[in-house]
Chains A and B, each alone.
Chain A
Amino acid sequence: MQPVAISVDLPEASRELCKKAGYSYTFLSDPNAEVIRRYDLLHVGAGENGHDIARPAEFLLDASGVIRWVNLTGDLRVRMRPEEAIQQAGKLL
């Protein structure tokens, strides 16, 4: 399973983050929130200076691109745990 992170951060910001935190997986930049909007995940005005950002959300896709699991948290504090995604991937893929 390939993890792919998506946010409104610019590529440079993601690059910084990857370097600092040692992440090696793919980070995608959606600065105008086009994809975030298409997935209905826009959190209007929740970012710095009233920026529109993505709400936390996870989608597990199988090899054909069909969604097998969705996690839309209702609480900012309660995010997906990595083990949760790995467990779902083991079960569903």
Chain B
Amino acid sequence: MNERRHNWHLWLGFVVCAAGFVGYLPLARFPFTRDVPWVSFLLFAAGAFSLGIGLKRAFGRPEQFRGKILGPVLSLISLLVIGLFCFFIFYAAKQLPRSTGAPQVGQKAPDFSLLDANQQTVTLAALLTTPLPGSQKPPKGVLLIFYRGYW
């Protein structure tokens, strides 16, 4: 008596939404797909579209299709996944100090003295004047890269 068809659009939509979330991790390695997460947003749109079709079938033609319970559940989880993604992208990743007191272009960089990876003391003044290995002249300049580290 139960001849209703499986509502595969629901599962497809859910899997595509999840792929949009998880897939960002490898995509974040390339600036082209990192800076604007367009691949994830395309997948979210495709997933939502598929979920929409599935829901329409489940509630519009319940005598033909399953998914009256599964549909809303998968849709809700997908919405949460998309919401979490947007929270990270549009809010959490932008919570950085303003650093208004950072040295500016035209100023002399404040000198410092720190230990390098071999426990040797290194000053900025020395970095600016010591020739690089294999060279006779001091470097043309120094690029200071402050990074978060691995703590």
Residues of A with Cβ closer than 8 Å to B? 1-9, 11, 13-15, 17-18, 26-30, 34-36, 38-44, 46-49, 51, 53-70, 72-78, 80-81, 85, 89, 92-93
Q: A11-B116, A14-B116, A53-B149 are in contact. List 19 more A-B contacts (CB 8 A).
A: A1-B140, A2-B142, A6-B144, A7-B150, A26-B122, A26-B127, A35-B114, A39-B110, A40-B97, A40-B99, A47-B149, A53-B148, A55-B96, A55-B97, A57-B99, A65-B108, A67-B105, A72-B99, A75-B93
Residues of B within 8 A of A17 (CB): 150
Q: Which residue of A5, A56, A89 contacts B141 across the interface (Cβ within 8 Å)?
A: A89
Nearest A residue to B94, CB-CB: A75
Knowing A1-B140, A4-B142, A4-B145 are in contact, say whether A67-B97 is a contact too (CB < 8 A). no
Size of the chain B interface, CB-CB below 8 angstroms: 49
CB distance from B22 to the nearest CB of A (A): 16
Does A48 contact B107, Cβ atoms closer than 8 Å? Answer: no
A63 to B147 Cα, complex, angstroms = 22
Q: How many A-B residue pairs have CB under 8 A?
A: 198
Pick from A7, A8, A9, A55: contact of B99, CB under 8 Å: A55
Flag the segment in B9-17, B28-36, B54-62, B65-73 that touches A.
B28-36
In the docked arrangement, what's the CA distance between A34 and B28, Å?
Answer: 31
Q: How far is the CA of A83 from the CA of B141 in the complex (A)?
A: 16
Q: Is the CB of A6 within 8 A of B102?
A: no
Question: What separation, in Å, do the CA atoms of A17 and B127 have in the docked complex?
Answer: 21
Contact B143 A43 (CB under 8 A): no
Please judge, given known A-B contacts A26-B122, A40-B100, A43-B97, whether A7 and B139 are in contact too, CB under 8 Å.
Answer: no
